Amino acid sequence: MAHSESVAPLNGPESAMLDALFSQSPVGLHLLDTDLRVVRVNTATPAMRDVRVEDLMGRRFDEVYGLVDADEALDLVRGVLEGGVPVVGRLLRARRGTEPGREYFHEVSVFRLEAPSGKVLGVAMTVVDVTDREKERARTDVLRLAREQVGRTLDVMATCQELVDVLVPRVADIAVVEVVDAVLRGDDPPLAPLPDGVPLRRAAFRSRGGPGEPQAHPLGDVRSLPAPTPYTQAVSDLRPRAVTLDGDLPWLVTDPDRAEAIRASGARELITAPLATRDTVLGLISLYRAQRPDPYEGNDVDLVLQLADHTALCIDNARRYTREHTVAATVQRQLLPRGPASHTAVETAYLLLPSDSGVQWYDTIPLSGARTALAVGSVIGQGLHAATVMGQLRTVVRSLAAFELEPDELLARLNDTAVFLASERADRPTAEELRPKALAARCAYAVYDPLTRTCTVAGAGSPSLVVVRPDGGTDVRDVPSASVLGNAENTPFAAMTFEIPDGGLLVLSDTAFPAPRPQDDPGALRRVLARADRPLEELRDDILYTLTARAAEADADADADAGADEADGPTALLLARTHAFPADRVALWELPDAPTAAAAARRLVREQLLEWNVAQETVFETEVIVSELVTNGVRYGKPPLELRVINDRVLTCEVRDSSPSAPRLRHASVADEGGRGLFIVAQLARAWGTRYGTDGKTIWTEQMHRDDAGQ
């Protein structure tokens, strides 16, 4: 005999309590039968206050509740009815008949109702209005995204684009950012209220409808704001404006281009807010809603104001960086030579690659004996301070080069200067921005002697030297190098000397060229250098293109692989094409170690200078100089004694002997019979000095050619 279960009908207090639940519960309660038709519903919730119960009863729930995505809700409830697995806390969007343009968020929980026998009776739904919570959560998410994604670069235009990318479609259907044009150049922004006629540049635009959305002005367009409009009012009192764009708006007459774009886009709501900081105006944000049905609210205005404040700070930081970068770049240009000097036996070109890690410099310095010093380097760091240090180090290199120091000794003295500058920086007050930054620099210094066709080079910070032979072959020289300049440990420097074939090319850089990666073309740079017979400017440009292309590929790979190291490489290069010095412009004689050496030297020099068609007055002065130098060598030096005359940009006389002792200039008194030789030499020569070698010393003088001097 079958047993049937039954449930006693509710009566008395239980029935009263159930009726009270459905009439008083602040949570929406809905009972649906197996056809998902409304059986019972409470009307105490705010969403049901303007709904008649008789309009709901017996109808399927997705037909009467104004659901935005009715199919999604129907599948959800039907799944619970059929599968019996409850759903808790699912969000559904809906619209109400009294406010068809506004969307509401409801948190819905659904579970199946079954009789004790297991028969499915229907489903029950609880509905809670969480519109305010979800909107606040969405605003919080927008603020979080803005803080994470806006201001990642120190570029004003990029910052503005990052902002509109965050705002569309989360807050607006159309977003426009306009920036005071002077701010893009790093200039100080004007004080509020924004003066009439100040030009603004359209820095960023994004539309939910894509790039084809109508715009009042194209990106990059510069023009002032017509007044009066909500836009000009916002940049006058620095307060946002929320405007409904329905009906006749008289202010649109003042800006017909913008009015036409608004009408074409169908925008219905506008919020415009100033980009301002410290009572100065940086620009303007304009947000429009065209597709979204819900209007802007007071909380949306507060959100836009917070976004504007954050963006204004980012733009101001970018502006300050732009100004400092501009000043630093100007200082760097002023501290660099106007162009590399090309000498008789050397022609040069330079390449300074853009870098975020250093300020580069180069120099070509004429030395005695027709030699040329090549210097290239970089100061690690950015900004005005790094550019100033670069100028200081370049000046020191030039000063030390005048003392005829060998490359390794010159770098040791240069490092002393860098250590001194670093100690001065460390002694600055703790609050100064510069103090925590350690001073470090790279440098490569080489001396090319065209008479012997040799190059002597030393480095600090792992520089690189590539020698390209006339046949196109390349040799990478291992430049002896110590740690970067500024190291107080007094690491010793070393130099190396090697021969260079006539017509060879030197490529001197501040750091080593990066090793090729597996996906790189290992011969790309070699193929460029193999055609070294081209003009240096053309060769320099091809090197730039090759290095830049490789750096772009490395950056793309680094973006794809967050753990990849950034590719580094040279940021400053100096190209020098070398030639042997013309043999017919050099004369070399070995002189006897006897009192007659001076007379022989005068005769030899006179004959050679007349053969070179040197001015007679220069011939006479040179005879006097040579006579004094040779006499000094015979009296105080050691044989062998050599005299060399070089006819280059200047006329150079050199007397070499094997004694390491150097003469000094004396100022003889009236009664002295000697001691005036070097004084006379110093009066006749443009410059003079002593150069030491492993086998003695060389006293040299330089004279300007009379034609070159304009006499």
1 is a domain residue = no
Model pLDDT, residue 557:
58
357 is a domain residue = yes
Model pLDDT, residue 614:
92
196 is a domain residue = yes
Query: For position 60, which CATH number holds?
Result: 3.30.450.20
Looking at the structure, tell me whether residues 353 and 415 fall in a common domain: yes
Choice between 20 and 75, residue whose per-residue pLDDT is larger: 75
Query: What tens digit of pLDDT does each residue of 142-186 get?
Result: 999 999 999 998 899 999 999 999 999 999 999 999 999 999 999
Looking at the structure, tell me whether residues 150 and 254 fall in a common domain: yes
Rounded to whole angstroms, how far apart are CA atoms 462 and 483? 8
Model pLDDT, residue 693:
83
Looking at the structure, tell me whether residues 268 and 415 fall in a common domain: no
Looking at the structure, tell me whether residues 244 and 155 fall in a common domain: yes
Looking at the structure, tell me whether residues 371 and 518 fall in a common domain: yes
6 is a domain residue = no
Query: What tens digit of pLDDT does each residue of 18-51 get?
Result: 777 777 777 888 888 888 888 888 876 655 656 6
Model pLDDT, residue 673:
42
Rounded to whole angstroms, how far apart are CA atoms 135 and 553? 42
481 is a domain residue = yes
Rounded to whole angstroms, how far apart are CA atoms 527 and 128? 72
Query: What tens digit of pLDDT does each residue of 315-371 get?
Result: 999 999 888 888 888 888 888 887 766 678 899 999 988 777 788 999 999 999 999
Query: How far lies 369's CA from each of 403, 655, 689, 703, in Å?
Result: 13, 11, 11, 12
Looking at the structure, tell me whether residues 262 and 223 fall in a common domain: yes
Query: What tens digit of pLDDT does each residue of 452-499 get?
Result: 999 999 999 889 899 999 888 888 888 888 889 988 777 789 999 999
Looking at the structure, tell me whether residues 261 and 375 fall in a common domain: no
State the residue for tokens 């790039």. Answer: 211
Helices and strands in the chain: count of H runs, count of E runs: 16, 27
For the chain, the average pLDDT equals 85
Looking at the structure, tell me whether residues 379 and 511 fall in a common domain: yes
186 is a domain residue = yes
Answer whether 638's CB lies under 8 Å from 659's CB. Answer: yes
Hey, how many other C-beta atoms are within 10 angstroms of the C-beta on 239?
13
Query: For position 248, which CATH number holds?
Result: 3.30.450.40
3 is a domain residue = no
One DSSP character per residue, 108-120 reads EEEEEEE-TT--E
Choosing from 277, 293, 325, the residue where a domain stops is: 325
Looking at the structure, tell me whether residues 683 and 549 fall in a common domain: no
Model pLDDT, residue 71:
85
Residue 437: DSSP 8-state: S
Looking at the structure, tell me whether residues 146 and 94 fall in a common domain: no
Query: For position 426, which CATH number holds?
Result: 3.60.40.10
Model pLDDT, residue 667:
54
Query: What tens digit of pLDDT does each residue of 524-570 get?
Result: 778 888 887 888 899 989 888 888 877 666 555 555 454 334 446 78
Rounded to whole angstroms, how far apart are CA atoms 368 and 653? 9
Task: Answer whether residue 518 shows pLDDT above 80.
Answer: no
Give residue 96's domain range: 14-129
Task: Answer whether residue 199 shows pLDDT above 90.
Answer: yes
Model pLDDT, residue 525:
79
Looking at the structure, tell me whether residues 376 and 299 fall in a common domain: no
pTM higher than 0.85: no
Domain total for the chain? 4
Query: What tens digit of pLDDT does each residue of 200-250 get?
Result: 999 999 998 777 778 888 999 999 999 899 999 999 999 999 999 887 888
Looking at the structure, tell me whether residues 705 and 622 fall in a common domain: yes
Residue 515, judged by CB atoms within 10 A of its CB (0-12, 13-18, 19+), counts as: exposed
634 is a domain residue = yes
Residue 502: pLDDT band with limits 50, 70, 90: confident
Choosing from 282, 304, 325, the residue where a domain stops is: 325
Model pLDDT, residue 97:
65
